[in-house]
Chain A
Amino acid sequence: MQQLVNGLALGSIYALIALGYTMVYGVLRFINFAHADLLMLGAYAGYFVAPALAPVFGEASYGLLAATVFLAAVACAGVGAGIEYLAYRPLRNRPKLTVLITAIGVSLLMEFGCQHPAVFGAKTRPFPQLLPAEQIHFLGATVSRVDMVIPLVTCGLLMGLWWLVQRTRMGMAMRAVSFNQQAAALMGVNNNRVISFTFALGSALAAVAGVLYSVRASGIDPLMGIRPGLIAFSAAVVGGIGDLAGAVLGGLLLGMLETYVGGLPGVSNYRDAISFGMLVVILLVRPSGLLGRAQVEKV
């Protein structure tokens, strides 16, 4: 039971990050490698705004967590849309590989730029206490409050995103842009606006994950996004990239694997090797991911 709860919480974090990757990929067929670093920025945004919000919402309270997450998401949405405008938009009609390499460049710039003493500095900082420290006893398991909150947030955001994509005018435009940008333009869709919105949304998701991840972790540093980013990216691929439910499924799967394998005596040091080994197996059997539909690449 304890393992299940831990795995669920960790998996939900990965799912949340994977949702951001898959949103952007779904519209643009492009992996935003800087997504992991937006998670880091979200964590720092939380680090800086939480102390200012604490007097309003009370130390270590759900209100404080919600307000911190909200402000971090807004800040990261702006940064994400800004990155798209400055770095990716000028390359809109260039080969995909050019944009991909640019994304890696943006990612490295953020990771190492933020280590400069004038920015965040390289040392690990303790993340502020956003929720009451005492744990909850639940069906024989001991659960921290944040571990209860995370799966609910992920579940709520999954439903919200599904509604957005399937039921709103913006969502329909996103699907149209995803299929064919020229055809969307001929319907009167301003592609740039839809793409900015998608990046802002994806980055806001990264920020939500960043704050929640940091509440669980012991501290934050400019390289903190790399490992969860990589795992969540794999989760999105395993689930079937571009598919929202697939991202969540993949995230949960990887979180569970990591928790269970990490708890086995003798092999716990090999948890990543075992998790990723299983991914290889899954992709061999289902190359387009668990929920992904096989599709022919457009030429």
Chain B
Amino acid sequence: MLEVRDLEVGYGAITALHGISLKVETGRIVTLIGANGAGKTTTLRAISGLLRARRGQVLLEGLDVTRCAAHELVARGLAHSPEGRMVFANLSVIENLRMGAYLRRDAEGVKRDLEFVYGVFPRLQERLWQQAGTLSGGEQQMLAIGRALMSRPKCLLLDEPSLGIAPKLVQTIFQKIVEINRQLGLTILLVEQSAHMALEISHYGYVLETGRILLEDRAEVLRTNARVREAYLGGG
């Protein structure tokens, strides 16, 4: 579904990614773990066209989309729920969801997908007419994910869904991610600092360290890897 080959991205004189490669198979949840500043967000932003790659390729369904602008990639089936959620605080919840379906012309399909999102996140349905800026952190995260689903993507990029939300809700959000993956067969590339939970729900994982892929393996193998345990899973 999604493949990154030898991707190099930099900001001015700084190189953030030194040629990384990764693959996300159709229908899988793949996670990218790493410390703060390892380049996880940069990777997602380069994939979704918010950042230009200096070198390397991004392939979506086998097609080279490295030079595509962010808004063109949405039309090709990529959705990105960005770091910091970026819900439109000045729009209502329902308008945010409709923005997710901005490019769609099939009113019936949009309606069905709204129902699906309400099914996954009943909280959103209770707050449809509320300004998104007044939602709690957890609710905003649900909205960001729901909004991304509204474009009916083939592949979803999720950046730190656990960031800045109540610990109790983190578990729920992760359950919902699994639910979405199972019910829609949606391919998901997940970026997380909470490596433990991310590896628990993923099929495959990559460990990113200062802009390079350090390790990659099936998630259950990474969970038991000594280095990963020490660096990202809190020792024991």
Contacts and interface: CB of A to CB of B under 8 A. Distances in A.
Q: Do the two chains belong together in a single complex?
A: yes
B209 to A, nearest CB: 26
Interface stretch (A31-39, A185-193, A271-279): A185-193
Contacts, number: 66
Interface stretch (B31-39, B83-91, B197-205, B215-223): B83-91
A33 B69 CA distance: 30
Interface in B68-82: 69-71, 74-75, 79-80, 82
B99 interface: yes
A172 interface: yes
Contacts of B75: 188
Interface in A164-204: 169, 172-173, 175-176, 178-180, 182-191
Nearest to B76: A188
A171 B89 CA distance: 15
A183 B82 contact: yes
B50 A187 contact: no
A178 B74 CA distance: 20
A169 B86 contact: no
Most buried by B among A180, A184, A185: A185
B103 to A, nearest CB: 4
Contacts of B90: 175, 178-179
A182 B99 contact: no
A180 B88 contact: yes
B86 A187 contact: no
A173 B82 contact: no
Nearest to B104: A188
B147 interface: yes
B167 to A, nearest CB: 26
B81 to A, nearest CB: 8
Contact of A187 (B69, B74, B89): B74
Contacts of A188: 71, 74-75, 102-103, 151
A189 B71 contact: yes
Contact of B102 (A178, A180, A187): A187
A172 B147 CA distance: 14
Contacts of A182: 50, 70, 82, 86
Contact residues on B (Cβ < 8 Å of other chain), bracket: 20 to 34
Instruction: Point out which of B79, B89, B99 has the most chain A C-beta atoms below 10 A from its C-beta.
Output: B99
Given A169-B102, A186-B80, A188-B151, A179 B71 contact: no
B187 interface: no
B91 A185 contact: no
A180 B83 CA distance: 13
Contacts of A187: 71, 74, 99-100, 102-103, 147, 151
A190 B74 CA distance: 11
Given A169-B102, A186-B50, A179 B88 contact: yes
Contacts of B87: 183
Contacts of A183: 82, 86-88
A182 B86 CA distance: 9
A182 B80 CA distance: 11
A185 B89 contact: no
Given A172-B95, A173-B102, A186-B80, A179 B74 contact: no
Contacts of A185: 49-50, 69-71
Contacts of A184: 99
A173 B70 CA distance: 15
Contacts of B99: 172-173, 176, 184, 187, 189
Nearest to B79: A186
B98 interface: yes
Contacts of B49: 185
Contacts of B86: 180, 182-183, 186
B162 interface: no
Nearest to B90: A179
B103 A175 contact: no
A186 B89 contact: no
Interface in B25-83: 48-50, 69-71, 74-75, 79-80, 82
Contacts of B82: 182-183, 186
A248 B147 CA distance: 34
Interface of A: 169, 172-173, 175-176, 178-180, 182-191
24 contacts: A169-B102, A172-B91, A172-B99, A176-B88, A178-B90, A179-B89, A179-B90, A180-B86, A180-B88, A184-B99, A185-B70, A186-B48, A186-B74, A186-B79, A186-B86, A187-B99, A187-B102, A187-B151, A188-B74, A188-B102, A188-B151, A189-B71, A189-B102, A190-B69
Give me the 4 closest cross-chain CB pairs, A-B, nearest first: A188-B74, A183-B86, A185-B70, A188-B103
